[in-house]
Amino acid sequence: QGRLQVSHIGRKTSPTGEAPCVKMGAGASASATKTVVIPFPPGPTTYLTSTGFVTETQWTRFIQVILHRRGVLKVEDCLRNVSREQLIEKYKGEIQQLKVLYINDASYHRPTEMMVAGRSGDGKVGQNGHLGRGPGTWFFWDQGLEDLMGIPKENIKMIQLFEKPWLFNRPGRDANYHESKPDVADLDPADEEAYFKALKLTQDAYDALKESEPKVGAGQAGGSLPGCPESGLNCADELAEISSKLNKKYAAALDKWCTENIDGADIVVGQGGEVVMLNLAWQVNQAIAERLVNAVRTNRTVYAGLSASTMVCAKSMEMTGEIQPGWIEAFAADKKYLSNNHFDPNDLDEDGIKSNVLGALPLLEAPIAMRPHYSDSWAEQVLEKNLLAEKEFEKETGIDIPDDLVRNSNDGCEVGCELLSFVSKFAKDQDRPIFVPIRDGKCIEVTTHFKANKLYEKYRVID
């Protein structure tokens, strides 16, 4: 399999496509320089997690990869026994230059006080067995990157796509998004008013569906419950219609913001939370999704997802307990709003994966679906889905998948990744996805390269 030779600011690339670490002996000339190629991703890289990076191995690997991409990691620091603390201390100056875009829409519709409580505490992320900075807290990417990697707080921009920070001046909201001031000169106040009116319908529908006795039908097309638009559309399509129009109308503002905040970021991270609502944020902002996918695939930035932000990268985000009656009907936008640049006819033909559960941030090409926070209670359902995928694959390709590979695919992400790699290597139009179970604490590193205009992905588990 070939490799795509791509460039990155400050990054050196060898003729094989590998980004080498160079070690020069005393008195060595440039012509005598010895190049040592190390086993780190030479190109586009994505990280899929259930609970963020939670082990020293995962953090060390991630820091090494980021430093390697910048062309500064020395050979002696490519070893497995180098520690996270050693890397942070040695490369402090380089790490303090890193820029991060932090996408946090999975919490947009949740109560602010709930998110503030999840981020409270005055400790360090991961101390005393806590996921976050204190008892009962969660892992948040910005806190983790600050506490365990040394990236300055001011270098991390927290945004929510729902707020359109490329278009609207917004005040910021605790635990959700930072203040934005794009100061778009030709912005029509009527556009802003219409947009936030449509967005409020999604909040009304969400609140109604979250009541102790959910008001199923809220936000749906042609209804009269909270969140149902007067237009007769569901609230997702109501929002998608105006959102996509504004993204086109103010394309120059969008392009400027993406150039600065996506193309200009070393790392883009996505937070966990409500996967259906996060997928909606990407459905109604496909112009931003396109820019992020392109930035990752051209090796401008690295993406790391957590739970919901991992699921929306996959072919399907359907295996979750969060999809309750009435949710898809209210919060899934029509497939006509999805980008033709990244969703092909096979994705949209409703055969295998329904378009209303397609991951709307199509970073991954392989027919993968993920179940974060995996437990044994999901084992039967994962195996059932993968048996259907096996049947389709063998019928269409004539290639037999080893029985034990499918039978054990519900054991964990290692076997799931092995099965996925096998299927994606030979399948051409696989409709049914391979479900990869990711237990809390696990991390999958996905590396991408191109050969003969075809994209190849390699999946590797980091414990």
pLDDT in 10s for each residue of the chain, 463 residues? 333 222 222 333 333 344 445 432 333 333 334 444 447 877 899 999 999 999 999 999 999 999 999 999 998 898 778 999 999 999 999 999 999 999 999 999 999 999 999 999 999 999 999 999 999 999 999 999 999 999 999 999 999 999 999 999 999 999 999 999 999 999 999 999 999 999 999 999 999 999 999 999 999 999 999 999 999 999 999 999 999 999 999 999 999 999 999 999 999 999 999 999 999 999 999 999 999 999 999 999 999 999 999 999 988 887 666 688 999 999 999 999 999 888 888 788 777 778 888 999 999 988 888 767 777 777 788 888 888 888 888 988 899 888 778 877 666 678 888 888 888 778 777 888 888 888 888 899 999 887 777 778 888 889 8
* 158: CB partners within 8 A, 6+ apart: 102, 104, 142, 176, 177, 178
CA distance 272 to 266: 20
CA distance 158 to 179: 9
CA distance 151 to 105: 22
CA atoms within 13 A on the CB side of 247: 24
What pLDDT sits at residue 57? 93
In this structure, are residues 298 and 43 in contact, taking their beta carbons and an 8 Å threshold? no
Closest CA to 272 of 340, 339, 240, 320: 320
* 205: CB partners within 8 A, 6+ apart: 218, 219, 220, 225, 226, 227, 228, 235, 330, 331
What pLDDT sits at residue 179? 98
What pLDDT sits at residue 27? 33
Q: What phi, psi does 418 have (nearest 5°)?
A: -65, -45
In this structure, are residues 451 and 432 in contact, taking their beta carbons and an 8 Å threshold? no
Torsion angle of alpha carbons 238, 239, 241, 244, nearest 10°? Answer: 180
Give the residue ranges of DSSP H helices in 187-307.
Answer: 189-209, 235-249, 251-261, 275-283, 286-297
Q: Per the confidence metrics, is the pTM higher than 0.75?
A: yes
What pLDDT sits at residue 376? 74
Residue ranges of E strands in 96-208: 100-103, 156-159
Torsion angle of alpha carbons 408, 413, 415, 419, nearest 10°? Answer: 100
